[in-house]
Structure 1
Amino acid sequence: MHHPPASALAVPGLPDISERLYNQDLAPTKAAGRRWTSYSIFTLWANDVHSLGNYTFAIGLFALGLGAWQILMALGVGAVLLFALLTFSGFMGYKTGVPFPVMSRISFGIHGAQIPALIRGGVAIAWFGIQTYLASLVLRVLLIALSPGLANLDQNSILGLSTLGWVAFLALWVVQVVIVRYGMDMIRKYEAVAGPIILFTMIALAVWMFAKAGGSIALSKPDALTGGAMWREIFAGGALWVSIYATFLLNFCDFTRSSTTRKSIIKGNFWGIPINMLLFGLIVVVLTGAQFKINGVIINSPSDIVESIPNTLLLILAALALIILTVAVNLMANFVAPIYALTNLLPKRLNFRRASLVSAIIGLVILPWNLYNSPVVIVYFLGGLGALLGPLFGVIMADYWLLRKAKINVPELYTESGTGAYFYHKGVNPRAILAFIPSAAISLLIAFVPALHSVSPFSWFFGAGIGAVVYLLVADRSRTFEDVSGEPIAVPSLH
């Protein structure tokens, strides 16, 4: 990513930027660094939508009693909402050219922005380790298929992993670290290559299963839901589909800050979200319905089908594709956010490359397989952090679009001057905190209190909506907003 040198970033009449708020990786993206085309955005979604976790979720809708058209409708409802929300979120990154932690300074203040950045980064860093572990499980299957004798190394336990498990995990860990250390442009290139591989593999699996089932599939379980219960699960499924992308809804600007045009965001999102999600839904219906017709079993994820492929060569190719997929998802969904969060925390000491190594080390030392195997950690810790993402989104979007009308003074995002537009009170906007706390509390209650179980799938919407409304009620409307954004963006030099 290309940024101007610090010595060239001067704007007459504005205070110098602070070393505590700025480095080259946090700087607005300049024209030379805008390389994310509509295809780049599309392949980002081509990878992420087809993640194993998403397949597990969608297959779960079949297990809950939804049939083929109901699953497609649930995913369709979520896709339409996501297309709109992600497009507006993406426009913010394109206009300002800044990553999410810097974007958060607009609403929460130059120092208060650490709150949303670290919450988003904290969720991602745990899932980075977990997703690497899940990919390592597929790699273990692949290694044993290539060399059956390696199964002997999969019998012991060292801190919760076998020797083969450690080899597989560390191998994937190293691969991801190497890719990320080359920066966002290398991630873009990896996604561009991985996207078509994933789409081809998943379509091929669906065709193979359809043929294996004799050219027809089960469209639903015998005890499928009907009436009100069916519609409730359809809309709950659509709401949860949006909640799955609560992380991306916040930090999509990390990617669109490098978009070539606004049209590239719209076009990439259109093909990558509603169209790609329809294809995803059809694959889910075929894979699940075919397996259910064959033996009455509901699969957990496509990896179950891959493990049952009788041809060793095809099994190896399919397993490689799933590994490529999981790495692609991990890089963009769970690696970029903590890198920017850590860089924002210590910009004088950490740049993109150093922060990537710190993030990866944390993702390793937390022994993520133990987290994944603990329902308490997954539900209450990671689930709790996830419930906070809706309120953050509501506050930031209400401030940017409804209060400021997208008028942003980008240079002042990097100054600690007391007269700066985003200094507020000692660098923190108390009104944003005031809106965040009650909306976060309500979101957590809806997510975890058993009596509210019927509305828990909608906790993200409650959190985002309440956060936005409360912020608009308490916001300081006496402030005037100056639009100093767009290309080229000039930022004051370091003092």
Structure 2
Amino acid sequence: MDSNSNRIINPDPSLYNEDLAPVPKEKRNWGWGSYSMLWMGMIHNIVSYELAGSLIAMGMSTWQALAAVILSNVALIVAIWFNSAAGTKYGLPFPVLIRASFGYKGAHLPVMIRAFVAIFWFSVQAYIGSKAVGAVISVVYPGWVSIGEYTFWGMGLNDWIAFGTFWLLHAWVISHGMERVRRFELWAGPLVIVLALGLVYWALKVAHGFGPIFSVQSKFSGGDFWKSFFLAVTGMIGAFATLILNIPDLTRFSKSQKDQIIGQAVGLPIMMTFFGLMSIIITVGTTIAFGKPITDPVALLLQFKSQPIVVLLGAFALLIATLSVNVVANVVSPAYDLMNLMPSKLNFVKAGIISIVIGVFFAPWLWFTNANSIFTLAGAVGGTLGPVAGIMIVDYFWVRKCQYDLNSFFVKEGQYTYRNGWNPRAYVAMALGVVVALIGLVVPSLQSLYTYNWFLGIAVGGLSYYFLMRSYQIQSVPTLVEEEVSFK
């Protein structure tokens, strides 16, 4: 490899195609504003709303719920910043970068685990978003509910029409590639903010000001509170665990490290805390207005049936917001992951369509109940993927000292060959991290550990990898000449 360029010399066709190759400097045109809007689109969605709102339904006070939102976002942005650096520097996606720590063959397993987790979340978001589609149709077609009498595979005909419509919208966005995704995010995020602000105004009017909203008393005390608090924090982190890993898929298009750092800081912790606060205020308002917390925003909108325009515009905003997060968080990532398996046969569009087809078979309508159950599920996801994030971060910053051999990512006889393409040390570290993170689910006496599953997973996975790799001889690599600001 020429150390002054991103040119790959004699790449192996089984490891390389144009979508997996380094993004050329001239095509890295995402500024900090792009990342701010990108995150606004990803976090302003129904699942994020339900996760924040359900903290009130669990019994937390407004202040406790807000604290959980803030802590989860601080942890998220730190992990995301660290794992964004290599993607920005080398212009490479997650399934390529992970070859450095797991080997070019060994990378397939964590990549596919992460891919199927993303597809799983796609199915959940698609199902939830289809409810917004149904709400829109119900306003313009009074007989919408009646056609639900015809059922198939657990859903009525009306729900299948709504789900199919929403699925086709995903296919349309994906078919236009990554640049269409970026442009779509520029207006999808702000749209739902308008809806949320309208609902906040309604909640404050119902509650007669901020005083009653922030006077909600907690149902927890002592150890019970801290257990619920950290379970909620890890659950909210788990909901974005896939993005911690595949964030290089997005930051590989960044103009500089500075752009992705500033843009993500504005878009994630600041805007997510603001959105979380709005969700909490609205949920408290529903408790005052209806005598019980309503954490589902579509169900809340349907309380305003006497004002069809409110339901119509609100459901449309939720539909667009959910579509935006689903494409970026749960389709872009598995698309790159599937391309990594068959780079000579798949491109971004083909792999993205395959991902959303697979997503249908998760059939969330058969088991999805409410946001409270998502905390345990999201926590398990975070506990599984946390160790992989820890390994990637430690490999880049402390094992490789921020220097990768670019050409070795695309050849079978390079630095990332290890033992016939597998790095056993990475697998041992991953196994240790997953066991420690999830053991509380199966061993009652260690149940308290599960409360901190993501934190334990990323720490144990990363530290184990560091100590296991100390005996491994890392070859020196040429320094990649960059025009952008250093992350360090």
**What TM-score comes out, normalization by structure 2 length?**
0.91
Q: Which residue of 1 aligns with 2:323?
A: 327
Q: Which amino acid aligns with 1:74?
A: A
Cα distance between partner residues in 2 of 1:293 and 1:455: 36
Question: Which among 405, 408, 412 is matched to residue 409 of structure 1?
Answer: 405
CA contact (8 A) 2:439 2:447 kept: no
Structure 2 counterparts to residues 434-449 of structure 1, below 5 A: 434-449=428-443
Cα distance between partner residues in 2 of 1:150 and 1:240: 35
Cα distance between partner residues in 1 of 2:238 and 2:326: 17
**How far does residue 455 in structure 1 lie from its aligned partner after superposition?**
3.0
CA contact (8 A) 1:124 1:334 kept: yes
Please say if 1:27 is aligned against 2:21.
Answer: yes
SS at structure 1 position matched to 2:155: coil
Cα distance between partner residues in 2 of 1:327 and 1:103: 27
Q: 1:367-425 CA deviation, whole Å, 9 max, x = no partner?
A: 342353699x98999875543201111111111111111111111100012xx111111
CA contact (8 A) 1:338 1:359 kept: yes
Q: Which amino acid aligns with 2:289?
A: I
Please say if 1:311 is aligned against 2:345.
Answer: no
Cα distance between partner residues in 2 of 1:189 and 1:449: 47
Cα distance between partner residues in 2 of 1:382 and 1:448: 17
Please say if 1:289 is aligned against 2:294.
Answer: no
Cα distance between partner residues in 1 of 2:454 and 2:88: 25
Q: Which residue of 2 aligns with 1:268?
A: 263
Q: Which residue of 1 aligns with 2:333?
A: 337
CA contact (8 A) 2:387 2:434 kept: yes
CA contact (8 A) 1:119 1:385 kept: no
Flag structure 2 segments of 5+ consecutive residues without an equivalent.
none
RMSD across aligned C-alpha pairs, in angstroms?
2.5
SS at structure 2 position matched to 1:408: coil
Structure 2 counterparts to residues 88-99 of structure 1, below 5 A: 88-99=82-93
SS at structure 2 position matched to 1:453: helix
Q: Which residue of 2 aligns with 1:64?
A: 58
SS at structure 2 position matched to 1:189: helix
**How far does residue 304 in structure 1 lie from its aligned partner after superposition?**
2.5
SS at structure 1 position matched to 2:145: helix
Q: Which residue of 1 aligns with 2:137?
A: 143
Q: Which amino acid aligns with 1:413?
A: F
Q: Are residues 405 and 160 of structure 1, via their aligned partners in 2, closer, same or farther at CA, if it must alter by over 3 Å?
A: same
Q: Are residues 383 and 210 of structure 1, via their aligned partners in 2, closer, same or farther at CA, if it must alter by over 3 Å?
A: closer
Cα distance between partner residues in 1 of 2:425 and 2:448: 31
Q: Which amino acid aligns with 2:153?
A: L
Cα distance between partner residues in 2 of 1:391 and 1:344: 21
Runs of 4+ in structure 1 off by over 4 angstroms are 8-11, 220-223, 377-386, 486-489
CA contact (8 A) 1:443 1:462 kept: yes
Question: Which among 337, 346, 353 is matched to residue 350 of structure 1?
Answer: 346
Structure 2 counterparts to residues 2-151 of structure 1, below 5 A: 16-151=10-145
**How far does residue 69 in structure 1 lie from its aligned partner after superposition?**
1.6
**How far does residue 9 in structure 1 lie from its aligned partner after superposition?**
7.7
Cα distance between partner residues in 2 of 1:210 and 1:487: 51
CA contact (8 A) 1:123 1:386 kept: no
Cα distance between partner residues in 2 of 1:448 and 1:45: 35
SS at structure 1 position matched to 2:420: coil
Q: Which residue of 1 aligns with 2:456?
A: 462
Q: Are residues 311 and 46 of structure 1, via their aligned partners in 2, closer, same or farther at CA, if it must alter by over 3 Å?
A: same
CA contact (8 A) 1:76 1:278 kept: yes
Please say if 1:176 is aligned against 2:170.
Answer: yes
Q: Which amino acid aligns with 2:273?
A: L
Question: Which among 408, 423, 426 is matched to residue 420 of structure 2?
Answer: 426
Q: Which amino acid aligns with 1:348?
A: S
SS at structure 2 position matched to 1:388: helix
Cα distance between partner residues in 2 of 1:261 and 1:9: 15
CA contact (8 A) 1:135 1:323 kept: yes
Flag structure 1 segments of 5+ consecutive residues without an equivalent.
1-7, 490-495
Q: Are residues 381 and 292 of structure 1, via their aligned partners in 2, closer, same or farther at CA, if it must alter by over 3 Å?
A: closer
Q: Which residue of 2 aligns with 1:5?
A: none
Question: Which among 349, 357, 373 is matched to residue 361 of structure 1?
Answer: 357
Number of equivalences = 476
Q: Which residue of 1 aligns with 2:383?
A: 387
Counting aligned pairs with the same residue, the percent is: 32
Cα distance between partner residues in 2 of 1:390 and 1:258: 24
CA contact (8 A) 2:77 2:268 kept: yes
Question: Which among 181, 198, 221 is matched to residue 187 of structure 1?
Answer: 181
Cα distance between partner residues in 2 of 1:39 and 1:321: 21
Q: 1:196-243 CA deviation, whole Å, 9 max, x = no partner?
A: 101111111111221233335343545533445444544443333323
Q: Which amino acid aligns with 1:414?
A: F
Q: Are residues 62 and 454 of structure 1, via their aligned partners in 2, closer, same or farther at CA, if it must alter by over 3 Å?
A: farther
Q: Which residue of 2 aligns with 1:4?
A: none
**How far does residue 181 in structure 1 lie from its aligned partner after superposition?**
1.6
**How far does residue 191 in structure 1 lie from its aligned partner after superposition?**
0.7
Q: Which amino acid aligns with 1:311?
A: Q
Q: Which residue of 2 aligns with 1:301?
A: 296
CA contact (8 A) 2:339 2:351 kept: yes
Q: 1:415-474 CA deviation, whole Å, 9 max, x = no partner?
A: 012xx1111111111111121122222222134444333332311111111111111111
Q: Which residue of 1 aligns with 2:446?
A: 452
Structure 2 counterparts to residues 247-258 of structure 1, below 5 A: 247-258=242-253
CA contact (8 A) 1:240 1:458 kept: no
Q: 1:60-81 CA deviation, whole Å, 9 max, x = no partner?
A: 2222332122222221122222
Cα distance between partner residues in 1 of 2:234 and 2:282: 23
Question: Which among 273, 279, 301 is matched to residue 274 of structure 2?
Answer: 279
CA contact (8 A) 1:395 1:467 kept: yes
Q: Are residues 148 and 452 of structure 1, via their aligned partners in 2, closer, same or farther at CA, if it must alter by over 3 Å?
A: farther
Cα distance between partner residues in 1 of 2:386 and 2:6: 35
Q: Which amino acid aligns with 1:400?
A: Y
